């Protein structure tokens, strides 16, 4: 694990007991270590080692650090503390031998190594001499809160963590002054802790949690627990007082829920995948109950079995809008998806038009913008939309070609850059040539033209050409055309690339 002359010391937290709550990093380090060290009582059984067992490998050196005593008396001249200090000093010497030999040492610790953890005694004695890293673990307090399914603290509440070894009067004072509390190291201190909770007026709020997250887990109201049945690996927990607040009356909850539901959000997906999607759009898609849209666009939204999907054909915009509004009227949160920006030749206007009908006037409708195809293609080319420009659709399905032709000519006369949507389809194959010919009546054949296809997608391609050389055969429905103005320039870059841009200054 280490290329240094001396080994590396790791203090690895194992969490509250469930081996699946061991972090990925902790599991990796345990498997890679040369030496595994762990504490245990005289019986030799180590909870820490049992938790780490799935991650150990054959051939590792194991250093069992067995306490010489726990709560019993000792004849050590320094008393109990002196005996424990000597024990930790001896353990540090044993681990130092491995570290000096270049072996990496992982010291296992239940919970978190620096949260009432046994590892910290090795850390104090060795971390100034060797490269050391501590890997945090899930604490017993977090584990207890999780298995109870009750929040520890909410909003600006205060959590106090106390050892059960404190004097009873100190415990009672601290418990009375806090919002939430965890009292660790129960075992023989249980009766004192229970009495302190009663003195503080908190006994009825307290829960007893034993060996949280393990197969031997036990949960109970603390007042009902037999003191003789309490092991050291247990704690008392007073969860968040907010959790004990009266539930919202059913009628009020129903009314509140209705206020947050029943809306239509028209969402712009941008030109391609998730990187082009705004965070606001992602949030709306995640919160939706129903998704509606043209099938290929709807396919770009990852499926979620909680949501119902309603794919439709591309030519039923009014029906699609009415369906969305009817679902919202019944209480659903509906997302209507559009490629690009929903307000640019897309679903926003269709939804709003139907939403203005009398039966839907009470339905909330929001429109969330998306990155347009025009801007996506322009970004790939450089900055062809750097000055005034016109956005125009060649489709004559919803407006006559005569109107389209008049607008092409007007934009050409006005010397506007054109971003042309819907240039061609399987049934419309002649409009690109017709548009080119109209533009050539007012633009030079050398006018730059950019053809962007499937920008952001797997089939992305860019073609740089001129108006005079524009080949309609290379244009299909997945393309967007940008036709430059008289000031649009094409420049070759030193790296072999090409950029198209329209200067912001217009010649006098």
In degrees and rounded to multiples of 5, residue 82 shows phi and psi of: -65, -40
What CATH class does 141-244 carry?
alpha beta
Domain with CATH 3.40.1010.10 in the chain: 9-137, 250-368
401: left (phi over 0), alpha (psi -120 to 50) or beta: alpha
Q: If we measure between CA atoms, which residue out of 319, 273, 276 comes closest to residue 296?
A: 273
CATH fold of 9-137: Cobalt-precorrin-4 Transmethylase; domain 1 (3.40.1010)
Domain with CATH 3.30.950.10 in the chain: 141-244, 374-501
The pTM assigned to this predicted structure is 0.59
At a CB cut-off of 8 Å and minimum separation 6, what does 420 contact? 392, 393, 394, 435, 480, 481, 482, 483
What CATH class does 250-368 carry?
alpha beta
244-249's contacts with Cβ under 8 Å and 24+ in sequence apart are: 244/205
Evaluate whether 258 touches 212 at the Cβ level (below 8 Å). Answer: no
Evaluate whether 393 touches 345 at the Cβ level (below 8 Å). Answer: yes
Structure tokens at 438: 């109209």
CA distance 257 to 332: 11
CA distance 292 to 308: 9
pLDDT computed for residue 245 by the predictor: 41
CATH assignment of 374-501?
Answer: 3.30.950.10
Q: E strand or H helix at 208, and its extent?
A: strand 207-210
Residue 182 CB: number of other CB atoms within 10 A?
Answer: 21
Question: Which residues, given as ranges, of the chain have pLDDT below 50?
Answer: 1-3, 245-260
């Amino acid at each position: 694990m280490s290329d240094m002359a001396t080994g590396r010391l790791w203090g690895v937290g194992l969490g509250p007991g469930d081996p699946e709550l061991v972090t990925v990093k902790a599991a990796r380090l345990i498997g890679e270590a040369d030496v595994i060290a762990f504490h245990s009582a005289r019986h030799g059984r180590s909870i820490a080692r049992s938790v780490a067992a799935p991650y150990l490998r054959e051939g590792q050196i194991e250093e069992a650090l067995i306490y010489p005593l726990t709560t019993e008396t000792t004849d050590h001249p320094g008393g109990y503390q002196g005996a424990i200090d000597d024990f930790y000093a001896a353990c540090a010497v044993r681990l130092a031998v491995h570290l000096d030999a270049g072996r990496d040492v992982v010291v296992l610790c239940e919970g978190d190594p620096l949260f009432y953890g046994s590892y910290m005694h090795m850390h104090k004695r060795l971390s100034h001499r060797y490269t050391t890293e501590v890997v945090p673990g899930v604490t017993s307090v977090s584990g207890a809160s999780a298995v109870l399914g009750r929040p520890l603290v909410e909003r600006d509440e205060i959590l106090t963590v106390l050892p059960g070894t404190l004097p009873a009067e100190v415990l009672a004072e601290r418990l009375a002054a806090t919002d939430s509390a965890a009292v660790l190291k129960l075992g023989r201190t249980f009766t004192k802790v229970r009495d302190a909770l009663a003195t503080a007026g908190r006994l009825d709020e307290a829960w007893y949690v034993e060996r949280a997250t393990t197969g031997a887990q036990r949960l109970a109201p603390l007042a009902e627990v037999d003191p003789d049945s309490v092991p050291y690996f247990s704690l008392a927990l007073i969860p968040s007082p907010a959790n004990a607040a009266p539930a919202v009356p059913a009628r009020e909850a129903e009314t509140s829920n209705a206020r947050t539901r029943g809306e239509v959000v028209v969402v712009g997906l941008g030109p391609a995948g998730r990187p082009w999607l705004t965070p606001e759009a992602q949030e709306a898609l995640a919160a939706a109950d129903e998704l509606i849209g043209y099938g290929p666009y709807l396919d770009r939204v990852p499926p979620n079995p909680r949501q119902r999907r309603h794919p439709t054909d591309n030519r039923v915009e009014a029906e699609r809008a009415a369906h969305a509004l009817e679902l919202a009227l019944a209480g659903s949160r509906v997302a209507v998806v559009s490629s690009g920006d929903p307000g640019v030749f897309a679903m926003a206007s269709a939804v709003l038009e139907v939403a203005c009908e009398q039966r839907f006037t009470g339905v909330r409708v929001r429109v969330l913008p998306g990155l347009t195809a025009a801007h996506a293609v322009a970004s790939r080319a450089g900055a062809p939309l750097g000055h005034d420009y016109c956005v125009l659709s060649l489709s004559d399905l919803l407006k006559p070609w005569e109107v389209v032709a008049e607008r092409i000519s007007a934009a050409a006369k006005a010397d506007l850059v054109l971003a042309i949507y819907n240039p061609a389809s399987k049934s419309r194959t002649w409009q690109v040539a017709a548009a080119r010919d109209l533009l050539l009546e007012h633009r030079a054949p050398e006018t730059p033209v950019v053809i962007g296809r499937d920008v952001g997608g797997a089939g992305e391609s860019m073609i740089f050409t001129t108006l005079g050389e524009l080949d309609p055969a290379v244009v299909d429905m997945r393309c967007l055309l940008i036709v430059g103005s008289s000031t649009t320039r094409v420049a070759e870059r030193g790296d072999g690339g090409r950029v198209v841009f329209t200067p912001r200054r217009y010649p006098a």
